[in-house]
Structure 1
């Protein structure tokens, strides 16, 4: 693996499925990586044309089939930015058409299908990535480097939370609330998966088993009734290496916009990363604690290469997303960028989500398949 990103020898041509918020984020990242935004498809031809105009795509296609058709045989990569339950069919079609794929999480809404998609991508020799982009914040990479280098000692505890408030009142609603579009898990599949990925990425360890409680705070919302998906989840975890910890995930936490926080407790030091304060890393020690600021001259090589602006010039979510897409495109060009989240990581997230739901339903501990 390399920490360098090699620019593609030719312009990558990118297609997009979906035209909402995430398609806008993906298209900005693709443009920043130097791709040609070849076109897009959506739920209707009209929406595809509207998305093409808004996102600056070259063309809106009438259907996914047309986007993948022979007249776009030079299309390199397809970005899937549609509701959760549609991902698997779109991804399968794109892979079978020989396209590299970047798919929003969850990769699929059940573990078996997610594993099949990961296997299909591997069998076809295609780059297949899932945007667990918080691992692309430079200071998240610095936390990983500190743990890997032994600066924290042996990790014995983990504490994490991902809190949002965009569904905090019964008047707030969204397609994700509906299992037919969002799948069987909402809060955990949507944001808990990011927390778990960051935990496992920075520690280099995996959750072996867990015990979860979920809660649906509002059974009815503005347009959805008899709601079955969870608003929040509390999870006790045990890692394969022996560390234990707690995770709290909520989309009904007033005042919290995107409160992703992860603290790793080691025998020598604690390391804490906060996504809403991504320019710093807190390192706690018994004698004295310190706040490390993002400064490429003083960071590990992988963190430094993601620091694309001088210290003191804040970097944020879109920068992390841009770095993820740039690395995915460099992989398409033949490089092997370190830390690129693949379909294997996407399938892993679905397995953890299924374990959370199983534990919450049974009240017992659930094992998480490696």
Structure 2
């Protein structure tokens, strides 16, 4: 594969294979900071989805948001679970705390509605498996919100790997840090293990974990991890995590994540014939700055920024309308939780943990 072939149509949506009509009407379940600041604007700016229902604990306090995005219906969680306004939406988006994902996804599936759910799918592998089974039995689409899989930089990286541009991949280095308390209070649900299921690993480390699995198109066979917390308010979940994944191809991936470090993210793949470096892949709005070295050739690419969140909603909507299965699916979400639970076991025991 020639480098110029990859960069020639860098931002092309390769998943957009045919024309589709209409939009997928969404019920957004939970309108916290991310939903208000990122998800609702992304849906409004996109092509294939529209918000028709808001689900919140305080409908009376959401009138301004509903008016801003021209949303006709605002209901509370009990009303949603009872099936109110089910005729007003085709699918749901679930950005609630992780412990509630299964409850709302299962209810949506019972109503015959498609599900786009934030990651991780649930707080445990067992709970996530129940959620996946409910969606499978109902015959509805379940897509974990792995937005990296829908945006151009990571998709082009997978093409470069498949095209042997850097030879056989030997090492992957991925890291994501975000100073949580600069943007949230110590009472945030992300520091409650019952609501989140973990700390930096499930909230940030899942990005390099899932992205590595995606670009390698391969599953890890073992994991070794360490975690560290300095004290309150990180005394109940890990503040920092480092984990190494082993793959059956011989690739090792070294990944880190932190709730209490300077905001930073990077992904680098080193192969036998070259390397790929992506600058800031995990922040949400990717600057599309990457460097590819292949033999004696070094290419730097800088393109227009792309909102991963908009790409994610358009991809989900397109798959529903086109009747195609999204690449990130229930099995994908379960694979990440399997690796995450193994990483926590490794951190607790100090030993490598094998994966099936």
On whether the aligned pair clears a TM of 0.5, the verdict is: yes
1:82 shift after superposition: 0.9
Q: CA RMSD in A?
A: 2.5
| Change in 2 beyond 3 A, CA 1:26/1:170 | closer
Contact in 1 for aligned 2:176/2:257 (Cα 8 Å): yes
Paired residue for 2:3?
Answer: none
Matched, 1:365 2:352: yes
Paired residue for 1:135?
Answer: 149
How many residue pairs match? The answer is 337
Contact in 2 for aligned 1:7/1:330 (Cα 8 Å): no
1:75 shift after superposition: 1.6
**1:123-166 superposed Cα distances (whole Å, 9 cap, x missing partner):** 22211111111233312111110001111111111111112223
**1:174-214 superposed Cα distances (whole Å, 9 cap, x missing partner):** 2211123222x111101111111111111112221111000
Contact in 2 for aligned 1:41/1:67 (Cα 8 Å): no
Matched, 1:293 2:302: yes
SS in 1 for 2:15: coil
What is the 5 A alignment of 1:145-156? 145-156=159-170
Q: TM-score, normalised by structure 1?
A: 0.83
Paired residue for 2:57?
Answer: 43
Cα distance in 2 for partners of 1:244, 1:325 equals: 32
What is the 5 A alignment of 1:153-302? 153-167=167-181, 174-183=188-197, 185-217=198-230, 219-221=231-233, 227-254=235-262, 256=263, 259-275=264-280, 278-285=287-294, 287-294=296-303
SS in 1 for 2:153: helix
SS in 2 for 1:176: helix
Provide structure 2 residue ranges, at least 5 long, that are not aligned to the other structure.
Answer: 1-13
| Change in 2 beyond 3 A, CA 1:36/1:278 | closer
SS in 1 for 2:28: strand
Matched, 1:16 2:28: yes
Contact in 2 for aligned 1:147/1:202 (Cα 8 Å): yes
Matched, 1:352 2:339: yes
Counterpart of 1:26 (choices 20, 29, 39) is: 39
Contact in 2 for aligned 1:143/1:281 (Cα 8 Å): no
| Change in 2 beyond 3 A, CA 1:292/1:176 | same
| Change in 2 beyond 3 A, CA 1:4/1:182 | same
| Change in 2 beyond 3 A, CA 1:6/1:68 | farther
| Change in 2 beyond 3 A, CA 1:55/1:215 | farther
| Change in 2 beyond 3 A, CA 1:168/1:19 | closer
| Change in 2 beyond 3 A, CA 1:3/1:212 | same
| Change in 2 beyond 3 A, CA 1:287/1:87 | same
Cα distance in 1 for partners of 2:19, 2:78 equals: 28
1:74 shift after superposition: 4.4
Q: TM-score, normalised by structure 2?
A: 0.86
Q: Could you say which structure has the greater relative contact order, defined with CA pairs below 8 angstroms and 6 or more residues apart? A: 1
Contact in 2 for aligned 1:262/1:273 (Cα 8 Å): yes
Provide structure 1 residue ranges, at least 5 long, that are not aligned to the other structure.
Answer: 295-313
More strand by share: 2
Paired residue for 2:7?
Answer: none
Paired residue for 2:11?
Answer: none
Paired residue for 2:314?
Answer: 326
Cα distance in 2 for partners of 1:71, 1:7 equals: 29
Contact in 1 for aligned 2:150/2:315 (Cα 8 Å): no
